[in-house]
A and B are shown apart, each in its own frame.
Chain A
Amino acid sequence: MKSLSRLMAVMRKEVRQMRRDRLTAAMIVGIPVMQLLLFGYAINTDVRNLVTAIADEANTHLSRQFVAELGATQVTNIRYRVGSTAELERMMQSGEISIGVAIPRDFDRRVTDKTRAAVHLLVDGSDPTIGGIANQLREMSIAFATGATPPKQRLIEVRPYYNPERRTPINIIPGLMGVILTMTMLMFTAVAVVRERERGNLELLINTPVTSAELMIGKVVPYIAIGLVQLALILVVGRLLFDVPVRGSIIDLYLAAGLFIAANLALGLFFSTAVKTQFQAMQATFFVLMPSILLSGFVFPFDGMPIIAQYIGEALPITHFIRITRGIMLREASLGDLTGPLIYLGTFAVVATTAAALRFSKRLD
């Protein structure tokens, strides 16, 4: 009873201080919205309108038809027409174009020749995504009106499940949810205990009847609520601006997010007990945040990473959370389909909270 009222007192104090700290209050809303806008609008792996120059040395009916079809794909934006391959190379070097199309003089004859390529595509390989996109152009079928060669039967047809239009926000936002929650939750709690230590409040608190557990839980609970509010914000903005769906159960999503938030808060508290200054707490946050962005499967496909990077990725809570959000939001999975990641998040939260409670003692030595 006394314990509960002390816990409530600590929580009330935290909320009160949070409301008065304008920067924190602004970050609660500002970080998710800003990240959503940045990642949602700026990052687009479905590249279109690559600036292209064409050197059509054949200049026949067939080659002109080919150029027209190339333009129709929308992948290229044919802005220049030049005389020679050498000129294409010069323009690529100066960065004026991303793709150069060289059509040789004997284009018509090459089209019918199965042993030689009809067209040369010069691609700016210094940008990784452009290289990948240009590869798609290789698949262009050559359905020429002449009918000289019948369209080749394709061996493989790709059917992109869950995201048929290949819209990037649909891939990005379920993962971004994990990044935003990791960033804010970790940052707030990592600073929480150490700030009171720096301001001297802790020396007062540990001399009162309040227990370590009351202090820790009282600090964490308000942030869980904030995390869930942020989640709602991301879902709403994602829906309104980028039409990101939640195909599975939203309750499942919230339950999983609750577990993920708890895991992050526990890790943040552990940092808070381990560091001495707020600056160190921030550094510790970034120490986790960078691999969380790079090794979690958020930006780069998990399977493509070296095995050591995969191990590091597996250790991070966000990797498991991204599997859950992509599952629930896009693949219409239920929690029952995702027990592995859920068990990991739960275990992580328990272990980190225990470690934090053990490290935090009501002593100064």
Chain B
Amino acid sequence: MNSELAIRARGLSKHFGSLRAVDRLDLDVPRASIYGFLGPNGSGKSTTIRMLCGLLTPTEGSADVLGLDVPGRANELKPKIGYMTQRFSLFGDMTVAENLEFIAEIYSYPSGQRDSRIDELLGKYDLVEQRKQFAGTMSGGQRQRLALACAVLHHPELLLLDEPTSAVDPQSRRDFWANLFRLAEAGTTILVSTHYMDEAERCHRLAILDHGVKVADGAPQELQLNTGMTVVEVLADDPYQAQSALIRIPLVASVTQLGVRLRVLIPESVDDALGLTNTSLQKHKVTAQSRIVPASLEDVFVAVTMKPGQRAA
């Protein structure tokens, strides 16, 4: 076992009947880092997280979390991890303070320090005023802060966050990520799943999942540099017409519209990607300006989730 790794999984698979929700996943998550799972709904993010905390038994493969084999030693693992479910799962008919107290009791937090720990968390997660408010009546952002406070109350070594920001506004998301960075700096390992590109970009490392298969793995910048694609940005008067023109070129891997701009992915094996684009646009009498730009994470995502031979428009 490598003590530098918080999670090490090999060949992890989960089948639900004929569906391969997770297919032979290898995973190395270094300690004290934020590791992201990026993928659309149904790509196997939640299933993987549930296998890693012992809620689901893998069909095949093995996983070692914090030096413990799961699901075999999941019971020993529970006190060491914090888990935030995709859905708000705290008790809506109890107040913020009561929820925190319950969690403290369940984790056998030393009773002498319980109150001070709860006060500390209320302050840190900006919930002092909501102390006596019923959790069910709070806003999405407040609920999410409470869920995070509950997940970290017992100082877990590893935090598993399953789409934690899917129900909150952008400001709350930024604050939430600031909290995550603070936790990672203090030594907590964080595994977070998301379908937001901007969130994925903030992770130290990232795995992109598609239909249960890991299609890319690395630091976000690294992934952006190694897409294997040239990205041409096209600003056209008539984006629709431009798109129909470009998609006809056999060498173009994909054309994605972002407002008035088009992002055209062309494999790096093609020498003059810009020339190819301009020629095609002129041929179809589309007025447009094109330039080569660095790949964004979204481009990476489009590039790696494309099936061989399939072209996305």
Chains A and B bind each other: yes
Count residues of chain B with CB under 8 A from any CB of chain A. Answer: 30
Which DSSP category, helix, strand, loop or mixed, fits chain A's interface? helix
Interface window among A74-82, A197-205, A225-233, A332-340: A197-205
- Select one of B54, B71, B85 contacting A204, CB under 8 A: B85
Which of A5-13, A42-50, A98-106, A277-285 forms contacts with chain B? A5-13
Kindly provide the distance from the CB of A196 to the nearest chain B CB, expressed in whole angstroms. Answer: 9
Q: Is the Cβ of B106 less than 8 Å from the Cβ of A6?
A: yes
> Which A residues touch B88, using CB under 8 A?
200
Let me know if B140 is at the binding interface, CB within 8 A: no
Contacts of A13 in B (CB 8 A): 91, 94, 102
Q: Name which of A17, A202, A205, A207 has the most chain B CB atoms within 10 A of its CB.
A: A207
Contact B91 A207 (CB under 8 A): no
* A20 CB within 8 Å of chain B: yes
Query: By the criterion CB–CB under 8 Å, are A363 and B55 in contact?
Result: yes
A10 to chain B, nearest CB (A): 8
Q: Would you call A209 and B54 a contact (CB within 8 A)? A: no
Q: Are the C-beta atoms of A364 and B56 separated by less than 8 Å?
A: yes
Q: Of B56, B93, B150, which contacts A363 at CB under 8 A?
A: B56
Interface check A217, CB cutoff 8 A: no
Within 8 A of A (CB), among B43-92: 50, 53-57, 71, 74-75, 78-79, 81, 83, 85, 87-92
Let me know if A206 is at the binding interface, CB within 8 A: yes
Are the C-beta atoms of B89 and A203 separated by less than 8 Å?
yes
- A203 in contact with B55 (CB, 8 Å): yes
Nearest CB to that of A210 among chain B residues? B106
- Complex Cα gap A357–B87 (Å): 26
- Contacting residues, chain B, for A204 (C-beta < 8 A): 83, 85, 89-90, 150
Residue A159 interfacial (CB < 8 Å) = no
Taking a contact as CB atoms under 8 Å apart, the answer to whether A364 and B55 are in contact is: yes
Q: Provide the residues of chain A in CB contact with B196, threshold 8 Å.
A: none
Q: Could you tell me the dominant secondary structure of chain B's interface residues?
A: loop
Q: How far is the CB of A172 from chain B (nearest CB, A)?
A: 37
* B87 CB contacts on chain A under 8 angstroms: 200, 203
For B74, the chain A residues whose CB sits under 8 A away are 362
Given A20-B93, A208-B78, A364 and B50 contact (CB-CB distance below 8 Å): yes
Using a Cβ–Cβ cut-off of 8 Å, how many residues does chain A contribute to the interface with B?
28
The residue of chain B having its C-beta at the shortest distance from the C-beta of A10 within the complex is B106
- Cα(A116)–Cα(B57), bound, Å: 84
Known A-B contacts A209-B78, A363-B71, A364-B55; A6 and B105 likewise in contact (beta carbons under 8 Å): yes
Give the nearest-CB partner of A365 in chain B.
B56
How many Å lie between the Cα of A174 and that of B106 in the bound state? 41
User: Does A9 contact B102, Cβ atoms closer than 8 Å?
Assistant: yes
Q: Are A206 and B55 in contact (CB under 8 A)?
A: yes
Complex Cα distance, B56 from A205, in Å, reads 15
Assess the B98–A16 pair: CB atoms within 8 A.
yes
A157 at the A/B interface (Cβ < 8 Å)? no
The answer, yes or no, to whether B108 is at the interface (CB within 8 Å) is yes
Q: Does the CB pair A5–B108 fall under 8 Å?
A: yes
Q: Judging by beta carbons under 8 Å apart, are B106 and A201 in contact?
A: no
Q: Which of A7-43 contact B (CB under 8 A)?
A: 8-10, 12-13, 16-17, 20-21
Say if the beta carbon of B177 comes within 8 Å of chain A: no
Question: Per a CB cutoff under 8 Å, which of B79, B89, B93 touches A17?
Answer: B93
Instruction: Decide yes or no whether B240 CB sits under 8 A from chain A.
Output: no
> Do A208 and B91 form a contact, CB below 8 Å, given A5-B108, A363-B71?
no
Q: Are A365 and B106 in contact (CB under 8 A)?
A: no
Interface flags, A350-365, vs B, CB<8A=1, else 0: 0000000000001111
> Is B103 located at the chain interface by the 8 A CB criterion?
yes
* Residues B91 and A9 in contact, CB atoms below 8 Å apart: no
The closest CB in chain A to the CB of B78 belongs to: A209
**Contact present for A209 and B85 (CB under 8 Å):** no
What chain A residues lie within 8 Å of B89 (beta carbons)?
A: 199-204
Query: What separation, in Å, do the CA atoms of A362 and B70 have in the docked complex?
Result: 13
Specify which chain A residues have a CB less than 8 angstroms from the CB of B105 in the assembled complex: 5-6, 8-9, 12
Nearest B-chain residue to A211, judged by Cβ? B75
CA gap between A208 and B106 in the complex, in Å: 7
Q: Are B83 and A207 closer than 8 Å at their CB atoms?
A: yes
A17-B91, A199-B92, A200-B87 known; A363-B57 Cβ under 8 A: yes
A2 sits at the interface (CB 8 A): yes
Q: Which residue of the partner chain A has the closest CB to B150?
A: A204
In the complex the two chains form, what is the Cα distance from A20 to B134 in whole Å?
11
User: Quick check: B92 and A207 within 8 Å, CB to CB?
Assistant: no
Chain B, residues 5-32, CB within 8 Å of chain A (1/0): the string is: 0000000000000000000000000000
Also in contact, A6 and B53, with CB within 8 A (given A17-B93, A201-B90, A203-B85): no
Least CB distance, A219 to chain B, in whole angstroms: 14
B85 / chain A contacts, CB cutoff of 8 Å: 200, 203-204
- Residues in chain B near residue A202, CB distance under 8 A: 89
Q: A299-341, CB under 8 A of B: which get 1 and which 0?
A: 0000000000000000000000000000000000000000000
A-chain residues with CB within 8 Å of residue B53 when the two chains form the complex = 207
B83 to A, closest residue via Cβ: A207
Question: Given A208-B78, A364-B50 in contact, is the A2-B108 Cβ separation under 8 Å?
Answer: yes
> Could you list 12 examples of A-B contacts with CB < 8 Å?
A13-B91, A16-B98, A17-B91, A200-B85, A201-B89, A201-B91, A202-B89, A204-B83, A207-B55, A207-B83, A209-B79, A365-B55
Residues in chain A within 8 A of chain B (CB atoms): 2, 5-6, 8-10, 12-13, 16-17, 20-21, 199-210, 362-365
Given contact pairs A16-B98, A204-B83, A362-B74, enumerate 18 new A-B contacts (beta carbons under 8 Å): A6-B106, A9-B105, A13-B91, A17-B91, A17-B94, A21-B93, A199-B92, A200-B85, A203-B85, A203-B87, A204-B90, A207-B53, A208-B78, A208-B106, A210-B106, A363-B57, A364-B55, A365-B57
- By Cβ-Cβ distance, the 4 closest A-B pairs, closest first, are A9-B105, A204-B89, A200-B89, A207-B83
